[in-house]
Chains A and B, each alone.
Chain A
């Protein structure tokens, strides 16, 4: 009797264990469709999402939107995705360290969103495609395979460039340099005052710098050539010039830079700008919120400038970071998900997002901005400055090759003298070639 009791107990334990492994069913009983939305909690906060979702649910009573939002959303959704449990809508851009979006692009696991462009925004008469800023769709950022199919809808856009302290420039009567010659002249000038010209939070922040530099030097065609791994593109004079300029700029880097260029200490590099201990750093508009509570020099005011032009009057590009929203191919409710995405571009939603400084690429929205943001988005008004979107093209994964790490992280070794420009160029060419072969 007792034995059978114990046996039953053991059996129940085993069953309990197995039951614990099975995933819960998400569909609700009330007949409502549950739309699972996963979003990255970036510098814009989470309140805007809850507000937009509340608004959406009010006009769509048959849909229940479940929001999962986190600063490391990849870590939270990846395990359940690998177990086959996919969110319906994901707001997450490329260029994140975890590279989840890139992985899904490489695995061709995203839903084709081209039809959404022709869909009417719920409650409005215009289509999504009509509302979007010209040129924001159709680049490698939205059409990652280089064809007419849009897989990632542009969600927010923000200029990234060199950030500096306007107050310091006024105080010293310095002009913000518009050519590289002026830049290095300023570097020498500032050095006399003991202020280094340049720093970066971590080497990864050099992405915005490099993309713009490549386009500045060789135009958009050259930029695309590099991003799509054309054969021997890193052996060209243009590529060498980019590395020359960069190596020279890195020789002006603040001595602290490399020691602080890690996940733990990168804000200390950012603090150098606030303390007038370095002039420029590559960064994005989120820096204002990120360093909001940090102490700063008297008269400090954030300024943003595109990279200097290669020659006087030359064209200048500003790398524009675009966050994306996409639907996994394996999502359960694709049609409501597409409708929800279309809704994200409605005037009402755009207002809510803009209040949190999340600026969507919708025609005419930049006019409504105020404060520091208005100033940052002003860079697009300069006729000699063009927006540059995208990044390295996706190929089939190549084990052991990470061209971003080769291009950006090597800056640490250049500053510390552990490698040379020639070796840098060589390893870039090797990595690019391996990726080109994988793309064929």
Chain B
């Protein structure tokens, strides 16, 4: 590079050219040197960054990627969980799932919980959040605190609380109904196969309502007050403000929470069902993860359980993706 830019000796007619070029060449040479140094440093940085990332990557690989791959692999085998011999059966486990009534029932229950809990929690969460941020409610900090408490409780405690609420003889619910002389409305909340799933759903809503409310409140608090003032001058009602200002402006938080809802319908329902009903009576409140657990760990069908796991994985992935796509909007600026 240097030889090219150096003018051949004796070519005087180009002297002025060269003179003009000289400083720039020097400059570019200096520039090249500093660029290569920067590149070198950047390469050094890359190594450094990689080294810093390594622990997290190793953790992620060991505890997330590898087990997940293992789930997929095991789902193709018949295996009890302990013996050294696994039989490769291809997609047989999945084929069997289609004929398994209890699996279909658990699937339906999971979907029902996903829909009911999402709609109710989201609706109530938005409503409460809007009231608390917009209406300047007196004592709203207290309400927020009270509504948030269930979220920090352990699921076992929640199961115990609802066992007391739903108790058919002297439970809170039936006791209140009796007090109001509404004896006809009394139910065996955890024993009636038609309503046991909704009893679980109510507990799930109660548990997560505060969390989502706080999330929505945070979103609403960042909306500039002027927008409301301006719209109020234009004569917009509170309802109109909610649908035309609040909702579009917190759309991004709404979308995020939708993914949370999908996850909690799968995960939280399992823990709650396990602690409250055990999937009963007679499997009527079974959910996918509970059924997977039962098959994998108590029916000695680990491979089959993992096939259920794969279905859960694919299903929640798909639902999250669809929900994400369906709710995609251009983010609004304010």
Q: Which residues of A contact B (CB under 8 A)?
A: 3, 6-7, 10-11, 13-14, 17-18, 21, 78, 81-82, 97-99, 102-104, 106-109, 202-203, 255-265, 268, 397-402, 405, 409-413, 416, 418-419
**CA A345 – CA B192 in complex, angstroms?**
48
Other A-B pairs beyond A109-B82, A259-B189, A399-B304, 16, CB < 8 Å: A3-B44, A10-B51, A10-B52, A106-B80, A256-B168, A259-B191, A265-B167, A397-B304, A399-B100, A400-B100, A400-B102, A400-B295, A410-B282, A412-B280, A412-B281, A413-B193
Interface flag for B83 (CB, 8 Å): yes
- A107→B300 contact, CB < 8 A: yes
> Is A264 a contact partner of B159 (Cβ separation < 8 A)?
yes
Is B275 at the interface (CB under 8 A from chain A)? yes
Q: How far is the CB of B90 from chain A (nearest CB, A)?
A: 14
B168 close to A259 (CB less than 8 A):
yes
With A21-B62, A99-B299, A399-B304 as known contacts, state yes or no: A416 contacts B96, CB within 8 Å.
Answer: no
Nearest opposing residue in chain B for A417, CB measure? B193
If A6-B48, A109-B83 touch, whether A402 touches B299 (CB-CB below 8 Å) is yes
* Chain B positions within 8 Å of A261 at CB level: 191, 280-281
State whether A103 touches B163 (Cβ < 8 A): no
CB distance from A198 to the nearest CB of B (A): 16
| Contact status A262-B193, CB under 8 Å | no
The B285-300 residues at the A interface (CB cut-off 8 A) are 294-295, 297-300
Type the 1/0 row for B119-141, where 1 means its CB is closer than 8 Å to any CB of A: 00000000000000000000000
Query: In the complex the two chains form, is A416's CB within 8 Å of B193's CB?
Result: yes
B276 on the A face (CB < 8 A): yes
Q: Is B249 an interface residue (CB 8 A)?
A: no
Q: Are B51 and A7 in contact (CB under 8 A)?
A: yes
**Contact of A258 with B103 in the complex, beta carbons under 8 Å:** no
Q: In the bound complex, what is the Cα–Cα distance between A7 and B103 (angstroms)?
A: 50
B40 at the interface (CB under 8 A from A): no
> Chain A's nearest CB lies how many Å from the CB of B144?
30
A411 to B169, CA, bound (A): 21
A378 to B196, CA, bound (A): 42
Q: Which of B53-61, B177-185, B262-270 lies at the binding interface?
A: B53-61
- Residues of the A chain whose Cβ atoms lie less than 8 Å from the Cβ of B190: 259, 262, 265
Given A108-B83, A265-B190, A397 and B299 touching (CB < 8 A)? yes
Query: In the bound complex, how far is the Cα of B103 from the Cα of A106, in angstroms?
Result: 23
- What are 8 inter-chain pairs, A to B, with CB distance below 8 A? A3-B48, A78-B297, A103-B81, A202-B278, A260-B168, A264-B277, A399-B78, A418-B284
Question: In the docked arrangement, what's the CA distance between A409 and B277, Å?
Answer: 12
Alpha-carbon distance A104/B303, docked complex (angstroms): 15
The closest CB in chain A to the CB of B190 belongs to: A259
Q: Is B188 in the interface zone, CB < 8 Å from A?
A: yes
Q: CB-CB contacts of B159-182 with A at 8 A, as 1s and 0s?
A: 110010001110000000000000
Q: How far is the CB of B287 from chain A (nearest CB, A)?
A: 15
Taking the closest CB of chain A, its distance from the CB of B105, in whole angstroms, is 12
Count how many chain B residues have C-beta atoms less than 8 Å from C-beta atoms of the other chain.
51
Known: A7-B48, A413-B282. A107 touches B80 (CB 8 A): yes
In angstroms, Cα B81 to Cα A97, docked, is 16
CA distance A262 to B99 in the complex (A): 27
Q: Taking the complex as formed, is B93 at the interface, i.e. its CB lies under 8 A from any CB of chain A? A: yes
The smallest beta-carbon distance between B155 and chain A, in angstroms, is 12
Chain B residue at minimum C-beta to C-beta distance from A10: B51
Q: What chain A residues lie within 8 Å of B299 (beta carbons)?
A: 99, 397, 399-402
Contact present for A397 and B80 (CB under 8 Å): yes
Q: Which residues of B contact A10 (CB under 8 A)?
A: 51-52, 54-55
List the 8 closest A-B pairs by CB distance, nearest first.
A259-B191, A399-B304, A107-B83, A412-B281, A259-B188, A258-B191, A397-B300, A107-B80
Report the minimal beta-carbon distance from B108 to chain A, rounded to whole angstroms.
15
CA distance A410 to B278 in the complex (A): 14
Least distance between A261 CB and chain B CB atoms (Å): 6
- B154 → chain A closest CB, angstroms: 14
CB distance from B168 to the nearest CB of A (A): 5
Tell me whether B283 and A400 are in contact (CB under 8 A): no
B166 nearest CB neighbor, chain A only = A259
List chain B residues, Cβ under 8 A from A203. Answer: 280-282
Shortest CB–CB separation between residue B305 and chain A, in angstroms?
8
Q: Is the CB of A262 within 8 A of B280?
A: yes
Q: Is B301 an interface residue (CB 8 A)?
A: yes
| Contact among B81, B97, B100, B278 with A107 in the assembled complex (CB-CB below 8 Å) | B81
Shortest CB-to-CB span from B30 to chain A, Å, is: 26
B191 close to A17 (CB less than 8 A): no
B280 contact set on A, CB distance < 8 A: 202-203, 261-262, 409, 412
Q: Which of A6, A102, A416 gathers the greatest number of chain B CB atoms within 10 Å?
A: A416
Q: Is the CB of A397 within 8 A of B281?
A: no
A10-B51, A259-B190, A261-B191 given as contacts; is B102 within 8 A of A416 (CB)?
A: no
A391-B27 Cα distance, complex, nearest whole Å: 91
Bound together, the chains give a CA A202 to CA B303 distance in angstroms of 29
User: Cβ of A264 and Cβ of B300 under 8 Å apart?
Assistant: no
